[in-house]
Amino acid sequence: MNEENYIAATKEAMSKAYVPYSNYPVGALIVTDNGNTYSGCNVENASYPLGNCAEASAIASMVIGGEKKIKTIYVMTKNDEGGIPCGGCRQRIREFSDENTQIMMCSPDGVQQRINLSELLPNSFWPEHLK
C-alpha cells in the first residue's frame, strides 16, 4: 500500500464516524512496523464525555490485532489544516510510538502536516518513567 491508499483508507474511516453531537468526523489509520493497518473513527454518546476519539479507536483495534508499534498514524478531519490530535490522544499515541513514528495530519485532500513524535508531544511521560 502507498500513501494514496492510506489516505483513502483514512477517509473511509472518517466516513464511518458517529458524530451526531459535534458533527466533527475524524478518521484515523495506523500503519504498524509490520505494515499492517488499523482504522478508527470517533464515536460519540448522548452522555458527551463518554465519546471516543478516532485515534483511541484505532489504537484499540491495533492492540486487539496483537500489535503495539505505530510506524505512522494518519488523522483526518474535514478541515483544510488536517486532523490535529487532542492532548489525550497525543499521550495515547505516545504509548505505542518511538522517535521514528510519524504523525500525518490530513484533510480529505491528503497530508497537510507531517510531524514526528517529539514534535507531537515534547518531553513526554512514557512507560520508562514508571521503572
Instruction: Indicate the SS3 state at residue 102.
Output: strand
**Which listed residue (44, 55, 81, 95) is catalytic?**
55
Q: How far is the CB of 131 from ligand THU (least distance, A)?
A: 28
Nearer to ligand THU by C-beta: 43 or 65?
A: 43
CA–CA distance, 82 with 69 (Å, rounded to integer): 23
Q: Which helix (H) or strand (E) holds 29?
A: strand 27-32
Residue numbers of the site for ligand THU (CB under 6 A)?
A: 19, 22, 24, 26, 42, 44, 51, 53-55, 85-86, 89
Which segments of the chain does DSSP mark as H helices, in order? Answer: 3-15, 54-64, 87-95, 117-120
Q: What is the residue whose three cell numbers read 465519546?
A: 51
Residue 55 is a catalytic residue: yes
Cβ closer to ligand THU: 2 or 47? 47
Least distance in angstroms from the C-beta of 70 to ligand THU: 14
Point out the residues that are catalytic: 55
